[in-house]
């Protein structure tokens, strides 16, 4: 591949002001997938200027007209699901059914946003004054910066952008540097749909480009999904600034609770899915399994057997369960956390951090491989391995005694609050968990991954301050206006306030 892919600014493919490029590599093979321009803060400024200039004409279109561009994107996502799913897998290493699911999730979000364009928006509100009409109306906020992660390289950009665009905002998109090819395809889709110049802009690049979005005075809203470290620095940077809004979606140290009477078939299945799908690299992946002492041994043995045998390998192979980690640096982090766990004195049950040579598929020696790492730890001990997010197939088994209150106490003993699940046949324990687990996404008798776009998505505590899914994202990308119209020739005031203007003569 000789072409160097460009940025998309103001309806044009542009080289940008920087001279550097970067390479996208297949994390399973090391194959070079493409060369991309590395955007600079000056490129971001050009994109923001274009988005700002396009805003006035875009915001005055009807929602339904704006959504027409999204329907074109929707049909392309549907028609090309197989092909794009394979590209997702080649660029980010998720196994192929996950690659396709990423594209389907994107289609769902676009469908939701474009369909919502024909739904009522805002409220008709009663007034104390019969001759007054009162409404809550929504207005777009302006330029929206979308900074997205690599692990859902098609889906999450559309989570951010579909609703923002339908609501009348213009967009500057800075995709993750690990998945520029997927981002290139997203930009091509908007270009094919004929979206007006400047409404959608993409600058490829790294954190310096993302920072330039956060710092730009002309960006009204920043939507960020990614690491807690970056998200908190964005939120802190903007804390003092009035007017700018930031919705951040970050990590978790998610847990599954398995109660004393749980169905262990469900429990083991849910735990394997939650801990090892996407090789543990979802913000909703579980890294803690909180298991009642009565079922602990049986659960542990079955989970250990599954973790020892789960298929790690070529993500394009339909029989693979776990692909590689995203990049060498991340593999180092995952390995380091296995070392930290050992140093902290946990009891290691499965260690496939270094795969055996025969486990690595032919032609994949350059892949960033790591299989499951499973251990037992004491829930009362304050350990780094059980409190810090690893973002890999790193799982602690935590045995508890007593009632559901105790399990929920361990579940909540974390700075995060994104996703979690309970496996139980007892509705009283389930209901207690539902009401007391500090989570944005909670599941019963299911894995803690697999959210659908029409539900809220987001965490509490350190996991985020935004709800970057369908309905909730409208709150982030619009402002509400209380709009009141008088239908009478007289001015009448609420609360019985006198509207008479008295003069000195009246006194
Ligand atoms: C993420 O983990 O980064 O709930 C997003 C899920 C997906 C989205 C996950 N729908 O697993």
Band (507; pLDDT cuts 50, 70, 90)? confident
Percent of the chain with pLDDT over 90: 89
41-67: pLDDT as tens digits:
999 999 999 999 999 999 999 999 999
Distance CA 21, CA 351 (A): 38
Closest to 17 (Cα-Cα) out of 214, 220, 205: 205
Domain 4-250+464-483 shares a fold with domain 254-444: no
CB atoms within 10 A of CB 77: 25
Q: How high is the pLDDT of residue 1? A: 46
Q: Please, which residues have CB within 8 angstroms of residue 101's CB and are 6 or more apart in sequence?
A: 85
DSSP structural state of residue 129: S
SS3 label, residue 321: coil
445-458: pLDDT as tens digits:
999 999 999 998 88
Distance CA 60, CA 65 (A): 10
Average pLDDT of 81-92?
98
298-316: pLDDT as tens digits:
999 999 999 999 999 999 9
Parallel, antiparallel, or unpaired for β 460-461 and 416-417?
antiparallel
Ligand 1 midpoint to CA 473 (Å): 16
What is the C-alpha radius of gyration for the chain, rounded to an integer number of angstroms?
25
Closest to 173 (Cα-Cα) out of 7, 6, 3: 7
Closest to 89 (Cα-Cα) out of 34, 154, 37: 154
* Conformational region of residue 39, where left means phi above 0, alpha means psi within -120 to 50, and beta covers everything else: beta
Q: How high is the pLDDT of residue 168? A: 98
Give the mutation target among 104, 326, 451, 473 for probing the ligand 1 site: most ligand atoms within 8 A of CB: 451
Residues with catalytic function: 249, 283
Give the mutation target among 282, 452, 466, 473 for probing the ligand 1 site: most ligand atoms within 8 A of CB: 282
Query: What are the helix (H) ranges across 216-263?
Result: 228-239
Distance CA 309, CA 319 (A): 13
DSSP string of 411-445?
A: HH-SSEESEEEEE-S-HHHHHHHHHHS--SEEEES
Please state which CATH class domain 254-444 belongs to: alpha beta
Please state which CATH class domain 4-250+464-483 belongs to: alpha beta
Closest to 286 (Cα-Cα) out of 262, 301, 264, 268: 268
How much is the pTM? 0.96
**Closest ligand 1 atom, residue 457 Cα:** 4
For the chain, how far is it from start to end, CA to CA, in angstroms?
A: 88
Ligand 1 midpoint to CA 192 (Å): 28
As a whole number, the mean pLDDT across the chain is 95
Band (370; pLDDT cuts 50, 70, 90)? very high
Closest to 138 (Cα-Cα) out of 158, 103, 160, 163: 163
Q: Looking at the DSSP assignment, which residues form a beta bridge with residue 296?
A: none
162-220: pLDDT as tens digits:
999 999 999 999 999 999 999 999 999 999 999 999 999 999 999 999 999 999 999 99
Band (107; pLDDT cuts 50, 70, 90)? very high
Average pLDDT of 267-284?
98
Residues with CB under 6 A from ligand 1: 105, 151-152, 282-284, 449-451
**Closest ligand 1 atom, residue 225 Cα:** 3
Percent of the chain with pLDDT over 70: 98
236-259: pLDDT as tens digits:
777 666 678 888 888 899 999 999
Rounded-to-5 percentages of helix, strand, coil across the chain: 40, 20, 40
Q: Please, which residues have CB within 8 angstroms of residue 176's CB and are 6 or more apart in sequence?
A: 148, 149, 150, 153, 183, 226
Ligand 1 midpoint to CA 224 (Å): 14
Task: Please say whether the beta carbons of 207 and 184 come within 8 A.
Answer: no
DSSP string of 4-55?
A: EE-EEETTEEE--S---EEEEE-TTT--EEEEEE---HHHHHHHHHHHHHHH
395-450: pLDDT as tens digits:
999 999 999 999 999 999 999 999 999 999 999 999 999 999 999 999 999 999 99
In Å, what is the CA distance from 298 to each residue of 260, 262, 271, 466?
Answer: 11, 11, 14, 39
**Closest ligand 1 atom, residue 284 Cα:** 2
Q: How high is the pLDDT of residue 239? A: 61
* Conformational region of residue 258, where left means phi above 0, alpha means psi within -120 to 50, and beta covers everything else: beta
Q: Which two tokens stand for residue 258?
A: 């398995």
Per domain, the residue ranges of the chain are 4-250+464-483, 254-444
Ligand 1 midpoint to CA 448 (Å): 9
Parallel, antiparallel, or unpaired for β 373-377 and 347-351?
antiparallel
User: Picking from 241-245, 353-357, 372-376, which range would have the lowest pLDDT averaged per residue?
Assistant: 241-245
């Amino acid at each position: 591949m000789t072409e160097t892919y460009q940025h998309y600014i103001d309806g044009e493919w542009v080289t940008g002001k920087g001279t550097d490029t970067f390479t996208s590599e297949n994390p399973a093979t090391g194959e070079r997938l493409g060369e991309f321009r590395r955007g600079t803060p000056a490129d971001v400024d050009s994109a923001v200027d274009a988005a700002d200039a396009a805003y006035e004409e875009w915001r005055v279109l009807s929602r339904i007209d704006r959504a027409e561009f999204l329907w074109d994107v929707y049909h392309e996502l549907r028609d090309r699901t197989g092909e794009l799913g394979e590209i997702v897998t080649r660029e980010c290493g998720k196994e192929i059914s996950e690659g396709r699911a990423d594209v389907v999730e994107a289609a769902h979000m676009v469908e939701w946003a474009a369909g919502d364009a024909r739904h009522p928006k805002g409220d008709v509100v009663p007034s104390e004054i019969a001759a007054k009409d009162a409404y809550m109306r929504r207005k777009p906020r302006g330029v929206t910066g979308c900074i997205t992660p690599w692990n859902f390289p098609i889906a999450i950009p559309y989570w951010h952008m579909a609703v923002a665009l339908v609501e009348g905002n213009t967009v500057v998109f800075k995709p993750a540097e690990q998945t520029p090819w997927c981002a290139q395809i997203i930009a091509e889709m908007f270009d094919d749909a004929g979206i007006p110049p400047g409404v959608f802009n993409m600058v490829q690049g790294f954190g310096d480009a993302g920072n330039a979005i956060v710092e730009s005075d002309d960006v009204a809203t920043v939507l960020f999904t990614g690491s807690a470290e970056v998200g908190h620095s964005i939120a802190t940077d903007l804390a003092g600034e009035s007017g700018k809004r930031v919705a951040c979606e970050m990590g978790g140290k998610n847990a599954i609770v398995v109660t004393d009477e749980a169905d262990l078939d469900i429990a083991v299945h849910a735990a394997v899915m939650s801990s090892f799908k996407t090789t543990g690299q979802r913000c909703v992946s579980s890294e803690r399994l909180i298991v009642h002492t009565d079922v602990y041994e049986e659960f542990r043995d079955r989970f250990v057997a599954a973790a020892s045998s789960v298929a790690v390998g070529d993500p394009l192979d339909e029989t693979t369960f776990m692909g590689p980690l995203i990049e060498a640096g991340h593999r180092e982090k995952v390995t380091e956390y296995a070392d930290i766990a050992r140093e902290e004195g946990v009891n290691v049950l499965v260690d496939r951090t270094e795969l055996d040579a025969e486990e690595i598929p032919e032609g994949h020696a350059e892949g960033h491989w790591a299989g499951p790492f499973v251990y037992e730890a004491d829930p009362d001990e304050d350990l780094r391995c059980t409190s810090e997010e690893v973002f890999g197939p790193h799982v602690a088994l935590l045995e508890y005694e007593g009632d559901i209150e105790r399990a929920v106490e361990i579940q909540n003993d974390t700075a995060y609050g994104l996703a979690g699940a309970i496996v139980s046949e007892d509705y009283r324990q389930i209901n207690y968990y539902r009401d007391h687990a500090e989570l944005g996404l909670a599941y019963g008798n299911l894995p803690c991954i697999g959210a659908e776009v029409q539900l809220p998505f987001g965490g509490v505590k350190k996991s985020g301050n935004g709800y970057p899914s369908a309905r909730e994202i409208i709150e982030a990308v619009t402002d509400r206006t209380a709009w009141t119209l008088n239908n009478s020739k007289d001015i009448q005031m609420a609360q019985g306030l006198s509207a008479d203007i008295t003069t000195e003569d009246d006194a």
